Structure 1
Amino acid sequence: MLLTTLYLVYFLGLTFALPSIQPDTRDSTTLVKIINKCKKPIQLYQLGNQQSQSSVVTVNVGGTQSYRFDGPWSGRFWARHEECWKSSMCQNASTAIPASLVEFTFLSADGNDFYDISFVDGYNLPVSIEPEKSSKADNSKGDYWCQKPVCRNVPTCPPELQVWVGGVYSACQSACSKFRNQEYCCAGLFDTPEKCGINKHAQSVKDECPDAYSFAYDDEKSLYQCRAPVYTVTWCP
């Protein structure tokens, strides 16, 4: 990951470094299926490496939305409840009003897919990712091969990190974006994995949602790989 400035890195929300995307002989079509199990409709956003701005659709309670990707693709999904829709600030997953991120890179190194849940920039909704295992899945590859990362209840948000929109609690800000501390942001003097370990704020997030990224260099405990034809993302699992 390239950490250039405190704000830019966390505005982009990139939480891990991946190998360059490479074609592979496996089936190159991947389906991402979104399910809304929340008690309210969600506004679902999707932003890929070939897009200049995010796409958005409304997914009703119990509804689904599917996305088909042919060939290599890298991008993310996030969602918001209706109380945030009317604010222009809510249209992006920024540090000002963060959102729980689901990130994918398909057909990357050795033809594998990489995926994760990221709370590095903050969070708003619980979410899970489940790959459809195929004959190509190999569970002997470890705990992070074709497994299901899940956060069923978002971590408790300290009062100083709470973001309110229109009088309604909307999201939990990251300690990096709130305090602009180099150590919290893994930037400046702390811009390498060796120098930037988990901090107290990230640790509290990790304790409650151990499958999710809690700080920039949380790769070993939060980055998953698989080769699956379908990935199901469930909001409020």
Structure 2
Amino acid sequence: MPQLSTTGFELATGAQQSFDVPAKWSGRVWARTNCTADSSGKLSCLTADCASSIVPCNGAGGVPPATLTEFTVQGHEGMDFFDVSNVDGFNLPVAVVPQGGSGTNCNTTACPVDINKLCPAELQKTAAGGAVVGCKSACLAFNTDEYCCRGAYGSPTTCKASQFAKVFKDACPQAYSYAYDDSTSTFTCTGANYSITFCP
């Protein structure tokens, strides 16, 4: 799989960063929050940390809860597939806007609502002072086959949206709320560039 030119960077409020994605690339883009470095320079973040201890993630994924943007570039019939996902929980709002592409489903997708303010108590990830900094998925919180869509629940016919998934879906109807939430949450474009905005 081709790699990106960067696997992590600091993005100040209002700042922009551009990077090129190779053909046939598939992967995720997300934001870490509440990041600090200790006296030795080791970086850690309260949400979506990739545990690399440095700004680049070097191929490691974000530790849930994390709001994800997911891409498969030039996949089936040359189309790009993209989505916003709360399957791994939520840490901040995000929007993906295709630019210059074509296709019948080449539309903006987003989770623009701060789900941390709506998060059920049993799903909350809190900071030391008690502030809610993330909202866990039911799979992460309870680790059952039913909530994680595995075992006997590992198919679209057996795994359905739980009451917890509905919290995410009601807040962000375009975003994935559980593993098989494809019908309303997957978008496709041909020949587009993409603008990803955190906290739109």
Task: Give the counterpart letter for 2:110 in structure 1.
Answer: V
What's the CA shift for 1:80? 2.3
Q: RMSD of the alignment, in Å?
A: 1.9
- Aligned twin of 1:154: 114
Greater share of residues in strand: 1
- Contact conserved, 1:128 with 1:150, CA < 8 A, in 2? yes
- Aligned twin of 1:111: 78
| TM-score (ref. length: structure 1) | 0.70
**Gap change, CA 1:88 and 1:70, over 3 Å in 2:** closer
- Aligned twin of 2:67: 100
Q: Distance in 2 between matches of 1:163 and 1:210?
A: 22
| TM-score (ref. length: structure 2) | 0.82
- Contact conserved, 2:67 with 2:86, CA < 8 A, in 1? yes
**Gap change, CA 1:89 and 1:163, over 3 Å in 2:** same
Q: Distance in 2 between matches of 1:88 and 1:100?
A: 14
User: Among the aligned pairs, what percent are the same residue?
Assistant: 39
Q: Confirm or deny that 1:164 pairs with 2:164.
A: no
Q: Distance in 1 between matches of 2:191 and 2:170?
A: 29
Deviations 1:120-176 (A, max 9, x none): 010110000010134xx13xx3xxx11101121132111111112333432111111
Task: Give the counterpart letter for 2:151 in structure 1.
Answer: G
- Aligned twin of 1:226: 189
Q: Confirm or deny that 1:62 pairs with 2:8.
A: no
User: Larger relative CO (CA 8 A, sep 6+): 1 or 2?
Assistant: 1
1:169-188 aligned at under 5 Å gives the runs 169-188=132-151
Stretch deviating more after TM superposition (119-128 or 150-159): 150-159
Structure 1 moving runs of 4+ over 6 Å: none
Stretch deviating more after TM superposition (207-216 or 148-157): 148-157
Q: Distance in 1 between matches of 2:185 and 2:28?
A: 15
Flag structure 1 segments of 5+ consecutive residues without an equivalent: 1-48
- Aligned twin of 1:71: 23
Aligned residues: 178
- Contact conserved, 2:35 with 2:46, CA < 8 A, in 1? no
Task: Give the counterpart letter for 1:64 in structure 2.
Answer: Q
Task: Give the counterpart letter for 2:124 in structure 1.
Answer: Q
Deviations 1:108-131 (A, max 9, x none): 000000000000010110000010
